[in-house]
Each structure stands twice: as structure tokens, then as C-alpha cells.
A and B are shown apart, each in its own frame.
Chain A
């Protein structure tokens, strides 16, 4: 395998220099001498030595391309002493007696013996012969499968008895038939429905949308999986979120820098959302690639195209690294390696230090690719404007700069050193002189490379021009003021600033800094180019419009990658999508099409799909559709492995059945949230902040990647720590409780049946239901009655109520249900308030809102000390639609005041579409004195519709804040605006619940017939009956079960 010879190791200096008289060797060689040289010497030196001791590198100051060089030797002395093998270091090294050369492994004895014979014979060397490396690409290299052109393979004819559904199946069937195997039958519509939901959206199906299917009342469907369902899911926004997950692993997306400080990257999320959006729009993949590599050059006025180039910013970064140049080199390598991993499916990492040992990738290729990124320049602010606007701006800027150059030059002389001297944060003193010199220069005097390094260094310190007056002597300051005045006279020439976007990158300028091969002392810079094995011609760089001040290199790379004749780009993405659906790519090693990866199992199919993909305008959605419509993908996954199959294809490479899928960490989290009815109020796991130094404690256990290097496939481990997390962690326990909240009103039978449908997307068998019921009863009897200190207290008038103390963070909630008011409503409550907040927070009685003024909801409460509405004011906060199609926030204040420590009846009746004064009526009655009047207030409002949020109803707080301090006796909610009379008569025809806090064993019990009981949790834990505990335990067990996280 080791075709390319020597491995580059970091070697400690080898041969030491001793000057030596060079023997002249001018006589013609005899045939025998020539043979000695050609057979024993040239091949060994060329293959094993001159890589590190040749033109490019001279490890240990030793060069072995000419006889003189061998005689002179390196740091340790002459390598060869003609006629004296025992004094020749070369031989010693080859024998591994002192130095161990070549480091990749000792040469065979006969090769070493050949060298010895040659030295003994006086080291004959053909006159003036200089050894050169031979071309290292062989015929075998050129036959590497993945660099062959994509061929539109003919669809094989097969005798399939009607099994095939589309062309994919023909390819699969043919290979199976050749192996004497048959494919599997189609999975049931139920299994396929669950499978297709997870594979496209990463979310489970909603059983209520498929009631007929689950009840098996639906028969005779022509297709077990309808094209409509596939389309519906491809058009679901959840599709893009799911697809983005794979991409974000590839580009190592994170919301923090990595390294010790691990600073946040608040702007990075724009890229994540761009990826979601692009997949949902089915952006052609070639365009998607172009945008990420060169959006700033190809479409600088297009917001998404520019955000896309954040792809170039996801490297880890240590903000205070003094070795600025070292870090920059590391960053460029990282961007290069990520790019080859992501788009080419080739791992170039090895070639950074030496030609790849196993693949025909050269070190030269690596640096030619790197040079596309060499001009990269991270920008805190990147202009967003089209070429015409940029051109206008650029010209004006140039004119201003030309007109003011001498002024600014003088200003720089006055200011720059002083500013640097007083710079703060890290300051500039810690930089080595070379970097300090770059920082000292005016920007216009820096070379492109100096500009890159100086600006990277500049991120470590702050300068304070506002304080210059304090630091400069009077005379200089006077001069400076004069200069500034002069400068201001040219302000009219200055262009208007362009709109900008943050956390991006573009080129440092139209001229690229040179790129050198690592350890190459020749001083020759490489030019942008592609791996020789694929395309040995240098890249054609077309400079973009001058105003963009960019090299056009990245555009050239992107164009090459997205050229239809590029053998890799389309194949790689097609294979990734295939792997996503089958759990294994047609090429198993999705990020490595190289020799250590596996060759494709179905090369013709890969090419056929790749051809269709490009024909379809690089549409990923069409590719999904094609794959999911195949009989291959729709096969059952539980066909048993017979002895015959075990012999011929035990790991199902030929796809004689479907592979079962295990959910990823994100999918587990999301599926649990869906089951508990909380997806929506909580965001999908995709949106969790990715902090590189603080892995998410849940996702981290499920092999969420470190997002430091590109990762094409997730590991999938099973460990007790995962089990512990799902069993014992508060988060997963809380999902079981929330799910219980959704199902609590059902009988045991229905409760279990609903749970099975929700989690497994099927009905439990009688046996299973019986098993579950048995569990409930055993668990219940094993569960002690819980006692707790009373949560109730008495108001001065003798009424009981739940005693709320903000420190306890008591959570009282009625779970969300669809009948909750979205228009008219009436809230009634009996309460007592004990204190106000010292600030403007609200003491909340009841709410269905998360406090976000851009999200719908309502909240009834009392204002506190610093409120703009004065303290103790009963108010209703509303976020609803005023007819503008979006939620808008308002405070409807009653100006009715609730005094502290007195029991009150409080109510508000809302006729939502009546925005006049009669629309909202507040009621307030002091219950501490029998003869107190009912106070009333009519107030205008603006929202007309849509005030419901998909949240539970909170009592005594809203989403954990703005907490009540005092007692709440009851809360009643009506789905109508009650009139005075209806209120007085306690009309309950539209009553949704009447939650009372009078019974310590059932606080929050709904005394209406609707059973919307409130749950109560304090910082301790909720008190529940053994029956409730048993039900929660059942759900918790099912949430942990294999069927929950495996998809057939």
C-alpha cells in the first residue's frame, strides 16, 4: 500500500555538519558501475530518501540528490565515505543502528546490502547526475474508482415479478439475484408511515392524523406509502430542520469558539437558520455549495448568499493566542480539510505533512487547495450590497482616501504608537517583534499577509482614540485637532456606509498572500490548483469586480466543485442522502472515498442516481422522493437472517431488507417533547446552543459530535450512562410528567392505549395492555401515600387557598387543551395578595403566555412598585392579532387597585372583537367586609383575534416568573365573555374549568365536569397519589423503551 514512500515524522536534527573536501568524480563509469548505481542506489534514494533530503526539504541539513551532497553529508557528517561502508552514516541509518531511516520502516536487507556493495565499490555516480523525484501517480492510482467520470448507467432489465417500483429497485434486484437472494416484501403502511416521518422530519407521526390507519379501518390503499405523504413531509418546515442536522455536523457548526474562554458566537445561529431555510427551499445543491464557498463574490447583495459564507468561520479559535501566525496557519488548514471532507468526501489531512500514504493525494495538492483560502479575511462587519452599489461606494471611498491620504498619514504618525501603547485587554507588549512590526504599519502599507496577521492580532487588544487628548502633549494635540478639522472638510466625499452583516469572512484584498508547502525551503509559492489525480491543470481564476476587493479564488474552487464533470461533488452528496435513509451509504465511508474507505456496493446505482440528481437540477428533495418511493427503501426490516443470508450477505450490504434505524440524540429529545405535548413551547434539539467546551449533557451522551472537525457519520453507542440519564435525569422525568398531564383524564385502558399510539404509533395488543395494567396495579400498591405539609392556608375571611411564596417557585398548571379560548374569554379568581415586587414585575394570577411580547397569550395580574400603571393595578396583558396578521402586545389596565392582605374576587370578561370600552370589563370585590361593592371598569383594547398560545395555563405566575405572593382560592376560565348577569349567576355553560385549592390531597382539582385538573409542583416535588405515580412510571418506562427509539 505504501506507494508514496516516506512518512514525514517530526525528526530531531540528524546529521551534523562537518565540512569535507568534495572528491571530484569525473571519469566515465563502467557498465558494471552504472548497474550498481541504477539497481541499488537510484531506486532507494528516490523512493525512500529524497522526499525529506532533497530539493524541497533538507532534514538535518542533509541533501541526497548529487554525489557531492552525499559526500558532504549533513549535520552529523558525511553520509557516504567511498570505499568505507563502516564509516558511512547512510548505511548506519539504513541499518537502524544510529538514526533510523527511513522512518516509515527499515528497508529489506537486500536493499541495504546493495547500498553497501555500492559504497564498497567506491560509490560510483554517473557524471553530473541529479536525482529527481519521479512522478508518484501510477496507472493504478488513475484507476481509482471515485475519480472516474460519472456514467449514466443503463437501468438493468430484471425478472422481478413486479417487485420493482422504480429504477433504483432494478439495480438492487439485479445484485440480489446475482447473489441468489430475493428482496423483501413491503412493510405495512403503518410501519412506512412512522419510518418516513422519522427519516424526513426527525419527528414521530401524530397518531391523530392517522387514526384510520391505526385502527386498520383503512383498507385497499393502492400504495403502502403515498406520494402525497412524502411530499407533505418534504414541505413540512421540520424537514429542513432535520436535514440541517446532518449538514451542521459536516461543517462543524457551533455557537462558541472552543478553547478555554469558549466565547459565544451569537451571530453563528444565522448560518444554522440559513441551512434550515436552504433545505426547505430545496435550494439546488450546486448553488448551496457556491454560496457557502463564495457567496460574497458571486452574489454580494444577496443576504442568504452572504450569510452562507459563515461556512468559512466555523473554525475553533483561541482569542488570546500569541502565536498569531501559527493559529492562522492552523485555521487555513482546518478550512481546507473541512472543505475536502464535506464536498469531496476525501480526507486530505495526511497530505498536510506528506504525500498521502494510501491515496494518490500529494502534499502539493494540499497546498494548492489551501491557496484558494489563503486570502481569507475574517470580518466582524461584511457589507451587504450588490455589485453596482459596492462599486459606487468603492469609487467614492477611493476618491476620499486619495484626497485625504497625507492628512491620514500624519494622523497615523501622531496617533498610532500612542494608541498601541495605551491599548487595553491583552495590549500589544506580548507579541513578538515580527508581529508587532506588522501591527505598527499603516493598513495601506501592509502586505496582504501582514494585514491578515495584524488584524488577527488586533482582535486581542482595544485602542481608545477618545482618550488621545489626555495622552498627547499640548502641541501635538493641537496639530491633531487641526488635522481632524481638515479631514472633516472632505466628509462630503465620503460614501454613505453600507449595510453590514456580522461574523463573516471575505478576501483580504484582490491580491492573495503567497502559499508555501510546509517545510519547503525552495521559496516557490504554489498557485491554486486541484488534486493532480483529478485535474492537473492550474485553476482559472477570474477576478471579480474590483469593488469587491476579492481574488475570485474561492469562486474558482466552487465552480470546479460544482462542475457537472467533477466526479466527486454530486456523488458525495447523493451518497450522504442515501446513507441518511438506509443507515449505510452505497459507499459506507461517507467522508472517505479513499482507499481506506470501502468501494461502493452498487457503483452503477450510485452513478445512475448521481446523473439523475444533476439532471433534476441538483434537487435534494427530488432525490429523497426517488429513494423513498423505491421498493428497496420500503422493504420490511425484520426479515429474519436465515443461514443462507448469513452466508451470503450477513450485514445486508445488498439490501435484502431494510436496516432498522436508531434515533439520534436530537431525535430522542424531540420525540420525547412531541410525546409530552411540549414541542412548540420548547424548541427542537437542533436549536440548542452548541458550546464546544460544554457539551450538552444529554446529546453528548448520545454521541453528539464535538463540532471541532467535520463529521460525516455519527457514532452510535449504547451505554449505562445513557440509561441513567433517561431514567434519573430530571428532564426526562419531567417529560413523563407532562405526558401524564396530557393523558391524565383517561381511564386506565384508554390511558395505556393512547400512550402506545403516541410512542409506538400502533395499538398495543391485548397482552401488552394487560401487562401494562398489571404494572399499574403492582406499582400502585408498592407506592406509599405521600404526605406533605399543607400547601393551603386560610384567608382572613376563612376561605382556603393555595399559599404561594415566590421563593418556592411553585408551579401550578392546567395542561394545554384545544378548547382553550382563542377569542372571547372570562377569567374569575378569588385571591389574596401579600406583597408587591420592588420593581415593575407583575404579580400574576393566571396566564397562558411565556412573557415574550411577540408571542400570543394573555395574563391577568396586579402591578408592582415601579409599574408605569402605578402599583396594585389589576391588569390584563394581551398579545393578539389586531388585524395585521401578527401578534402585538398591549397592557389593558383596569385602574382597579387590589390592596394587600385582603381577600378579593377578581374577574375580567373579554369580548375580543369588540375593541370599544365595552369590550373588556374588569370586576373587583373586597371579600373582607360583607358589604363591599363590586367595582367595575370598562377598558378599550386593540387585539381582535388569536390570543391563544400553545402553552399550559399557569396559576400564580407565568412560565416561571412574575410570581404571585399570597393565596389563590380558585381560578375559573370560560370560553366566552360573560355578562354581569351571567357572572352573578355563576353561569357555567361555557366553563372550561374551575380549579379549586381547598383540599390538600387534591389541590387544583377541577370541580367542573371537564376534569382539567391543575397540577402543582413546588421546589420540592409534587404530591401525587399512588395511582398517579404508577401512571407516570408507566410512561417513563415506555419513553425509555427500545421501540420508542428504534424505527422498523
Chain B
């Protein structure tokens, strides 16, 4: 019932056709997305298109889909992508006050600095730095753009993960995937437009809020893949119903519904609902096919590390991610370490050795595979966590949360790869050059998908809501067409 766009029309304005509306909506694409919502209204007079139908973009862009590899718990930029020789010099001493005090989750500001124990190397023609914890990803240096200057507000996991997904530490706003789905729809309604995968064990902190639609309709929320059994909830027919029986039931249902709709022809919702049952039927066939990894060659499976128990789990998810984007899924989020498993407050050596090993090969495999299939250009791959980790130690051999400066990287569609962007200070505590807040990251992701974060608006309680809460800017430097 919330067809916000309509409300901006004066109540008795002469009726606009959908086409008129699109033409008169100031050419703004946000209006396009909003117009899609017409499908919701019980009294909408004209047959409305599916609100999830693929939509136009604001600007030319290469990326069609997103794969967000979310390292949950906060990977250490100081040990992966942002080498800091100063740490070795300062090791064991407290951090000089000149670096600026910050509040950390565990109050570890005054703890001595912890040097990294990594071997660092420059890779590829671009010569980007990566540590020996991610040797396979490092081989893709020329496909990757590392951003070393991300910052966020959330100092704990709850707020941090929520912010990286929704822009705010507090619940209630739509997630990035929901915004993208709202803005772009999907070319393949036989699969969910926005898919979320968690690891085998563990749940993402705060759960479904991170892929929720917030104040938008439920239509745009992410669909979580089941860890076991059927890929999505309610996808499998009841045991007592075979395909033929279900077809008969659906045919009968359609007949009943069409009969009902005959005398209610103005109610386009009825048609939408009739259609939703056909889509549901299709989804039952398409989703299992999409997740059927037996269709992949042994070589491909190996590429993702599925032949190794350490990498099998994330390898499977990365391979699924490729299959989803191949089939038109708009936004795929692959959590690694769901349940804050990257959270190395102590024993970072052991923790990150395991975490990196489980992730490095699958992610590298994904990049290789996307590239060899010609999909990398149209897929934006994002890697990162909710924050980084402090140069100061915690419990002797761990690191606390660092929201004030950390790394993420992007690859694929429209990204100016082979270059490192931004910088942190000498010890990697604060981002100092080309600082990018989470809002800026979100705005940039939208831009890479051809969406203007200032135009993609959703009217909610008298506010033109944007993903960036009116605070983000696009980091044009990282865009190859900039």
C-alpha cells in the first residue's frame, strides 16, 4: 500500500500512464524504481510491471552484478594488504599519543604495538603489496584495486556489520543489496535477486537485519541460502506431492484465480499474484539447477579448492556465487567466518592463518573463473570486513578492532584495477589519504553499477532516503571510466 511515488502526484492530477510517468519523472531514475512499486497497489488502475523487472541505469556501467565477499569479524589490514614497517620498530612499546587516541572496543589503546610476522611482496605488473597469508589472491594483483583508507563508525561487531551492510550502526535501514535490487531489479525472476550465503557453521551477527529491506517492501530483501538441504526455504515440494500433482494443483489454482479475476479486471494485483505462482513453480526448477555443483568439472571444483577440506566450504560458496551471477542474480553476499570468526583479539597468528587459508584459494579461484568466463568485467567483486585491526596488541598476541582505518578491495566490473588507493598513517591506525567512509563505499558501489546514489531515493516518512544518508560521495578515482 505504500506507493510512495504516487503520493507525490497531486491527488486529482489527470491520470498518468506508466510511460508518461517515466517520461515526466524528471528523467530521474529514482522515479523509475519508484514507479515499479505501482505493482503493490490494490487500486492501481493499469496492469503494472513486476517491481522486480530489470530496470535502466543512471549512467553507463560495466558491472551488472555484485559479489560481496564479507570477512566477518574484522580481518587485519596490517597483516594482509597494508604493510607497516614502523610496527617492527615500535613493537613492544606503547603507541605514541601523536597518532591520536581512539576508543576501541576492548579499551586496548595503551597496549604495546604488535609487529606483524608476515613476509610481504609486490605482485604483478602493478606491484601491489600483499602478505604471504593470501598468496593466491596476490597473484591477481593486476585485477584488484586495494583501498587502504576505509573508515567506519561501528566499534563493535554488531554496529560494524550492520553499518557495512546498511550504512548505519542502528537497525532499520535497507541493506546495500536491497538498494541495488530496488534500483536495478533482476533480469532473472526465476531466482532471488539478492542471495546471501553464510558459512556452514555460524550466523552473521544480528542475522537477517544485514540483508533486510528496512523500511522498503519485503520484496527487496535478501534471500538466505540454507546451509543444508534445499537451497532456499520452502523451495522443495512436500514429500507427498510430486511434480505432476503440483502442476495439477497450480493449474486448478490458476483456473480458480482467473475465474475470480474475471469480474475484477481493474485489480492488477490479482494478476501479479497469479504470476507469482508461476514464478514460484519456475524457481523450484531453476534454483536447484543453479546450485547443482555436479554440473561443474572436477577442474573447476579444484580451482575453488573444493578438493581440500580446509577450503571446501568457502570454495563451494564462491562457486555458487559465480553460478548465481551467471544466471543473472543481482547481488550475492558470501560471508566468510560468519559469527565474527575473523575476530582475532588474541592469537592472531593462529586465527588468521586458518581464516586466510580457508578463504584465499576460493577467492582467487573465483577471480580466475570469472575472468576465464568473461564474467569479471560485468561482475563487481568486493572483499572486506566490518573494520580492520589495531596496530596495538591485545592479550599479547592479538589485535583489537580498528574502525578508523582499514582495507577493502574491489575487482571486476568498472574498477580501475592494479592500483592501490588511499593510505593509512605510519602505523595503520587512521586512514589519512583519500579517506572513504562506508557511505562513500556504498555510493561508489552504486556508481559502479550505473546507479547515482543521489538519485536512487526512497520516500519514507517525509524523507527522501538514500543509502548514504546524504553523506556519501562517489570515489571516482577507482572507476576505470572516470
Residues of A bordering B, CB below 8 Å: 7, 9-10, 12, 179, 258-260, 316, 318, 321-323, 330, 341, 346-347, 349-350, 358-359, 429-430, 432, 583-584, 588-589, 591-592, 594-599, 601, 637-638, 640-641, 646-647, 649-654, 659-662, 692-695, 697, 700-703, 706, 708-709, 711, 713-725, 727-730, 733, 768, 771-772, 775, 778-779, 782-783, 786, 1020-1021, 1024, 1029, 1033-1034, 1036-1038, 1040-1043, 1046, 1048
Contact = CB atoms under 8 A, between A and B. Distances in A.
Contacts of B234: 721, 724-725, 727-729
A717 B273 CA distance: 9
Given A347-B462, A429-B107, A783-B245, 9 more contacts: A347-B461, A432-B103, A695-B208, A706-B171, A713-B1, A779-B249, A1020-B239, A1037-B249, A1037-B256
Given A647-B15, A1043-B260, A720 B172 contact: no
Contacts of A783: 245
Contacts of B172: 706, 708-709
A1043 B256 contact: yes
A322 B233 contact: no
16 contacts: A9-B470, A12-B435, A347-B463, A429-B107, A432-B107, A647-B15, A651-B43, A651-B45, A701-B218, A727-B277, A733-B238, A771-B252, A1033-B241, A1034-B252, A1037-B252, A1046-B270
B280 A720 contact: yes
Contacts of A661: 42
Interface class of chain A by DSSP:
loop
B15 A716 contact: no
A599 B7 CA distance: 9
A771 B255 contact: yes
A260 B157 contact: yes
A320 B14 CA distance: 55
Contacts of A595: 462
Contacts, number: 258
B192 A715 contact: no
Contact of B463 (A349, A584, A694): A349
Given A694-B208, A718-B272, A713 B2 contact: yes
A330 B107 CA distance: 22
B238 A723 contact: no
B42 A358 contact: no
B273 A640 contact: no
A752 to B, nearest CB: 12
Contact of A715 (B218, B238, B273, B282): B218
A597 B7 contact: yes
Contacts of A695: 208
A709 B461 CA distance: 11
B291 interface: no
Nearest to B209: A693
A429 B206 CA distance: 25
B267 interface: yes
A1041 B244 contact: no
A728 B259 CA distance: 24
B35 to A, nearest CB: 14
A447 B125 CA distance: 63
Contacts of B464: 596
Contact of B11 (A10, A601, A662, A733): A601
A719 B191 CA distance: 11
A687 B471 CA distance: 40
Contacts of B277: 720, 723, 727, 1040
Nearest to A11: B471
A349 B283 contact: no
B236 interface: yes
A259 B206 contact: yes
B106 A430 contact: yes
A322 B107 CA distance: 10
Contact of B269 (A654, A692, A718, A768): A718
B14 A588 contact: no
Contacts of A716: 1-2, 40-42, 217, 269
Contacts of B106: 430
Q: 4 tightest A-B contacts by CB?
A: A723-B280, A720-B279, A715-B217, A347-B461
A485 to B, nearest CB: 40
B171 A341 contact: no
Contact of B238 (A598, A721, A730): A730
A693 B252 CA distance: 38
Contacts of A786: 240
B260 A724 contact: no
A640 B249 CA distance: 30
B39 interface: yes
B117 interface: no
A350 B463 contact: yes
A3 to B, nearest CB: 15
B12 to A, nearest CB: 7
Interface in B239-262: 239-241, 244-246, 248-250, 252-253, 255-257, 259-261
B266 interface: yes
A718 B44 CA distance: 14
B471 A723 contact: no
Interface in B44-65: 44-46, 51-52
A719 B276 contact: yes
Given A716-B42, A728-B236, A1033 B249 contact: yes
Given A638-B264, A715-B217, A783-B245, A597 B12 contact: no
B462 A592 contact: yes
Given A347-B462, A720-B276, A715 B40 contact: yes
B14 A647 contact: yes
B263 interface: yes
Contacts of A1034: 252
A756 to B, nearest CB: 10
B102 to A, nearest CB: 12
Contact of B1 (A347, A596, A597, A714): A714
Interface string B205-217: 1111100101111
B225 interface: no
Among A318, A716, A718, A778, residue most surrounded by chain B Cβ atoms (within 10 Å): A718
Contacts of A592: 461-462
Contact of B245 (A10, A694, A711, A782): A782
Contact of A660 (B14, B105, B264): B264
Contacts of A727: 234, 237, 246, 249, 277, 280
Contacts of B463: 347, 349-350, 596
B7 to A, nearest CB: 5
Nearest to A430: B107
Contact of A646 (B15, B207, B240): B15
A292 B311 CA distance: 55
A1037 B253 contact: yes
Nearest to A316: B171
Interface in B428-463: 435, 459, 461-463
Nearest to B14: A647
Given A641-B266, A651-B6, A693 B207 contact: yes
B170 interface: yes
A646 B15 CA distance: 7
A721 B459 contact: no
B256 to A, nearest CB: 5
Contact of B12 (A9, A260, A649, A708): A649
B235 interface: yes
Contacts of B41: 651, 716
A596 B240 contact: no
Nearest to B255: A771
B353 interface: no
A806 to B, nearest CB: 22
Contacts of B264: 637-638, 660, 1046, 1048
A652 B41 CA distance: 12
A686 B43 CA distance: 27
A259 B205 CA distance: 8
Contacts of B368: none
B397 interface: no
Interface string B103-126: 101110000000000000000000
